[in-house]
Amino acid sequence: MSGLAWLALSLSACDGESSGGLTAGPSKAPSQAQSASLVVTGARVWTGDPEMPWSEAVAAAGDAIVAVGSASDIAPLIGDGTELIVADGGMLVPGFIDTHVHFLAGGSSIASVQLRDAQTPGEFVRRIEAFAETAGPGEWITDGAWDHTNWGGELPRRDWIDAVTPDNPVWVSRLDGHMALANSLALQQAGVDADTPDVAGGEIVRDGDGRPTGILKDNAMVLVQEAIPKPTERQLDSYLDAAMQYVAKNGVTTVHDMSDGIADGWIGLETYRRAEARGDLITRIYAVTPLGEWRRLKDDIGRNGRGNEWLQTGGVKGFMDGSLGSHTAAMLAPFTDTPQDSGFLLDSLENLRVMMTGADAAGLQLNIHAIGDKAIRDLLDIFLDVASENGKRDRRLRMEHAQHIHPDDIPRFAVQGVIASMQPYHAIDDGRWAEAVIGAERARTTYAFKSLLESGAHVVLGSDWYVAPADPIAGIYAAVTRRTLDGENSNGWVPEQKITVEEALRGYTCEGAYASFEEDRKGMIKAGMLADMVLIDRDLTAIPPETIRDAKVLKTIVGGRVVYSR
Ligand SMILES: [Zn+2]
């Protein structure tokens, strides 16, 4: 074993030796005096606890796990007041932690026009037309999550939809959120026309006469976003409710909310606080707020603290670059399909360095989006500067996405202690077309789950919902098989980067807890931990990998309470 690998093993949250420490003791024989409020038995229990990875039954009292053991160990804890769940086989795992969602935007997307699987321009237009018929006059039609690669790559234009949306401004985004289509009414209300100058770090796509086609990319999207009226508190509460119900159905008990995507980036935290005060949260939330406003978060923590086990703050989200699908990822060398273009950074390195150094000095956690190999390298360099400037501490720097890594930079994650926060579902989605954009050589270290794990890095997994479904079982399937969504690549796209089911489970449980400094309270099934668990209808480690996606969540338990039952 290399020295590096040993170092990483000793630091891994899932090995019980993380720097935050584990307050929970080993599972002990339960006391006969008390009965449990909840007992789950009958399924194989994957605990995530390296001292006892598999078990048979779990007991909880109130919101915490009190005992894990054999069925006969736990039986004496079953009393009159115990809610007893007897599974017919299957698997019980720690509640899934989705480490990258845009929670309210996801909630609102459930309620909006559905364009993700529109396979032709005609279908795209028909769906917008049908939705507009249900919308009130003047109401904005947003979200959509369209994908122009479904019909060969022609970008949609406002003249496709103007005739079917005369009374509603339309602002529908591509599924990666890095470009969107406005209809003429939306452009008019936003004051965008042929005379509008381009925006640094973005693009107004124009026709031959210089008029906007309706497509705005990255920073230019702000021009229209600013014209959209702010959702009401009632709407926001309904988005949150829809989001929590949806993730509970998929076994998610904690989300790390990356905030951007709806309004000003603080509306999420305000909405979650209202729900928390009412006792309405059924999903635990680590609410990350914008890097550019790190001082506001510092002041907020000074007044309100960092929250509790339902709702926590302390992280800031920033951006290095855009996305591969929009050709706005910052690459070291040009894109294979557009040899004059290598993407771009969204801000100057100096601005980014100053903001990150300030936020880090305030004790905040950096969660920074980097997709292209240049963005990744530049961010690793900035992280080095931040750490040397501000001195040693348990800062758990996070790189969000870490998609296209130059091979030379892979070992730096473990060496610098940078968490790779990645989304396996993107791999089987992008895998359909990414090789055309970056070529075969760069594809080999794209979504490099295995290389990162072998290097000793912390790899934490999530969805990027609304961009992709917040469905950890689909994510595990993606990470384990790398079978692309188009049914090609039956042995996996870049198969050497496939990981095992247990590696993927750790990425969605104990490693996720580590990524928000909460590994002493969640991410394992172990006495003393919060009783967040998911019952799945089959043992994911014992079935052919290609059938993992057929597995169903039967029950989701948060804080000892069943919040979803199939
Ligand atoms: Zn995201």
- Asked whether 162 and 183 are in contact (CB, 8 A), the reply is yes
- Asked whether 251 and 469 are in contact (CB, 8 A), the reply is no
- C-alpha of residue 401 to centroid of ligand 1, in Å: 8
- C-alpha of residue 32 to centroid of ligand 1, in Å: 47
Burial class (CB within 10 angstroms; exposed 0-12, middle 13-18, buried 19+) of 118: buried
Q: Which two tokens stand for residue 342?
A: 């290598």
Q: What is the value of pTM for the model shown? A: 0.83
- How far, in Å, CA of 350 to CA of 78, rounded? 60
- C-alpha of residue 263 to centroid of ligand 1, in Å: 15
- C-alpha of residue 366 to centroid of ligand 1, in Å: 14
- How far, in Å, CA of 333 to CA of 330, rounded? 9
Going from the C-alpha of 28 to that of each of 22, 25, 32, 67, 90, the distances in angstroms are 15, 8, 12, 7, 24
Going from the C-alpha of 31 to that of each of 41, 211, 528, the distances in angstroms are 18, 75, 14
Reduced 3-state DSSP string for 274-292: HHHHHCCCCCEEEECEEHH
- C-alpha of residue 42 to centroid of ligand 1, in Å: 37
- Of residues 242, 285, 516, the one with CA closest to residue 397: 516
Its sign, for the CA torsion 159, 163, 167, 168, is negative
Task: Give the rounded distance of the alpha carbon of 382 from its chain centre.
Answer: 23
Q: Which two tokens stand for residue 326?
A: 């929009």
- Of residues 373, 435, 425, 429, the one with CA closest to residue 404: 373
- Of residues 271, 269, 279, the one with CA closest to residue 300: 269
- C-alpha of residue 464 to centroid of ligand 1, in Å: 5
- How far, in Å, CA of 480 to CA of 470, rounded? 17
The separation between the first and the last C-alpha atoms of the chain, rounded to the nearest angstrom, is 44
- How far, in Å, CA of 440 to CA of 322, rounded? 21
- C-alpha of residue 88 to centroid of ligand 1, in Å: 37
Per-residue pLDDT of the chain (566 residues; tens, 9 = 90+): 333 333 333 344 565 433 333 333 334 444 445 799 999 999 999 999 999 999 999 999 999 999 999 999 999 999 999 999 999 999 999 999 999 999 998 998 887 899 999 999 999 999 999 999 988 788 899 989 999 999 999 999 999 999 999 999 999 999 988 999 999 999 999 999 999 999 999 999 999 999 999 999 999 999 999 999 887 787 789 899 999 999 999 999 999 999 865 556 789 999 999 999 999 999 999 999 999 999 999 999 999 999 999 999 999 999 999 999 889 999 999 999 999 999 999 999 999 999 999 999 999 999 999 999 999 999 999 999 999 999 999 999 999 999 999 999 999 999 999 999 999 999 999 999 999 999 999 999 999 999 999 999 999 999 999 889 999 999 999 999 999 999 899 999 999 999 999 999 999 999 999 999 999 999 999 999 999 999 999 999 999 999 999 999 999 999 999 999 99
Q: 466 preceded by cis ω (within 30°)?
A: yes
- C-alpha of residue 288 to centroid of ligand 1, in Å: 11
Q: Which two tokens stand for residue 246?
A: 């949806």
- C-alpha of residue 293 to centroid of ligand 1, in Å: 18
- C-alpha of residue 506 to centroid of ligand 1, in Å: 21
- Asked whether 143 and 109 are in contact (CB, 8 A), the reply is yes
